[in-house]
Amino acid sequence: MLKVNVSLFNLITLLIFGLIPHQLNAQSYVQGEVIVKLKSSPQSLQTQQFFNKAQRQNQLVLKNSFSKMKMYHFAGKPGQSVEELISDLRKDPNVEYAEPNYFVNKKDLHGLEQTYTADEIRSLSANSPYLTTGADIHVTEVWASVSVNETKPIVAIIDTGLDINHSVFSDSNAVWVNQNEIPNNGIDDDGNGYIDDVNGWNFVHNSGYMLDDDGHGTHVAGIVLSVGQDIFANSIEESKINIMPLKFLDAEGVGKTSDAINAIYYAIENGAKVLNNSWGGPNYSGALHEAIVYSYEQGVTFVAAAGNAGTDNDYVPMYPSSYNVPHVISVAATTDLDYLASFSNFGHSSVDLGSPGVFILSTIPGGGFGSSSGTSMAAPFISGVAAMMLVESPEMLGYQVKEIVFNQADTLPQLNSKLATEARVNAQAAVQFAKSSVVTTSQPNYSFTNEDRQLASSLAGGGGCGMVAKLYSHMSNGGGGTPGPGGEIGAWYIIVILGIVSLPLMFLYYLRSQLPEESRRHQRFKIDSEVKVKIGDKELIGSVSSISLGGVQLNTDALLEKGSIVTMMISSPDGKEQIDVNGHIVWSEQQKSYGVQFERTTESLKEKINRWSKSLKPT
Ligand code: CA
pLDDT of 173-194, one tens digit each? 999 999 999 999 999 999 999 9
Confidence of residue 575 (pLDDT cuts 50, 70, 90): confident
Centre of ligand 1 from the C-alpha of residue 106, in Å: 27
Give me the pLDDT at residue 339, please: 95
Residue 507 confidence (pLDDT) above 60: no
Instruction: Spot the catalytic one: 73, 216, 219, 474.
Output: 216
Centre of ligand 1 from the C-alpha of residue 192, in Å: 5
Q: Domain 520-613: which topology? A: Thrombin, subunit H (2.40.10)
Q: Which of 376-385, 562-571, 574-583 has the highest mean pLDDT?
A: 376-385
Give me the pLDDT at residue 530, please: 84
> By percentage, how much of the chain surpasses pLDDT 70?
79
Residue 401 confidence (pLDDT) above 60: yes
d(CA 290, CA 288): 5
Centre of ligand 1 from the C-alpha of residue 196, in Å: 6
Neighbours of ion ligand 1 (CB under 5 A): 181, 188, 190, 192, 194, 197
Quote the radius of gyration of the chain (alpha carbons, Å).
25
Q: Which of 53-62, 428-437, 566-575 has the highest mean pLDDT?
A: 428-437
Per-residue pLDDT of 22-53, as tens digits, reads 334 446 999 999 999 999 999 999 999 999 99
Domain ranges of the chain: 107-436, 459-514, 520-613
Cβ 238 vs Cβ 169: under 8 Å: no
Out of 112-121, 142-151, 394-403, least confident range: 112-121
d(CA 368, CA 118): 5
Measure the CA dihedral 105/109/110/112, to 10°.
-100
DSSP readout, 194-243? -TT-SS-EETTTTBS---BSSSHHHHHHHHHHHTTS-TTSSSPPPPSSEE
84: DSSP letter: H
Mean pLDDT on 500-514: 53
Centre of ligand 1 from the C-alpha of residue 206, in Å: 13
Whether the model pTM is above 0.75: no
Mean pLDDT on 464-486: 29
Instruction: Spot the catalytic one: 239, 322, 373, 376.
Output: 376
159 tagged catalytic: yes
d(CA 229, CA 231): 6
Pairing of β 254-256 and β 95-106? antiparallel
Residue 127 confidence (pLDDT) above 60: no
d(CA 144, CA 228): 9
537 tagged catalytic: no
Residue 573 confidence (pLDDT) above 50: yes
d(CA 330, CA 319): 10
Cβ 341 vs Cβ 334: under 8 Å: yes
Mean pLDDT on 265-290: 97
Cβ 67 vs Cβ 73: under 8 Å: no
CATH no. of 107-436: 3.40.50.200
Centre of ligand 1 from the C-alpha of residue 264, in Å: 16
Mean pLDDT on 272-296: 97
Cβ 49 vs Cβ 15: under 8 Å: no
d(CA 343, CA 412): 19
Residue 464 confidence (pLDDT) above 60: no
C-alpha distance across the termini of the chain, in Å: 28
Instruction: Spot the catalytic one: 92, 108, 136, 159.
Output: 159
216 tagged catalytic: yes
Residue 495 confidence (pLDDT) above 50: no
Sign of the dihedral defined by the CA atoms of residues 462, 463, 465, 471, in that order: positive
Centre of ligand 1 from the C-alpha of residue 163, in Å: 21
Centre of ligand 1 from the C-alpha of residue 183, in Å: 10
Sheet of 201-202, strands arranged across? 201-202, 242-247, 154-159, 274-277, 301-305, 328-334, 353-356, 423-424, 410-411
Residue 329 confidence (pLDDT) above 50: yes
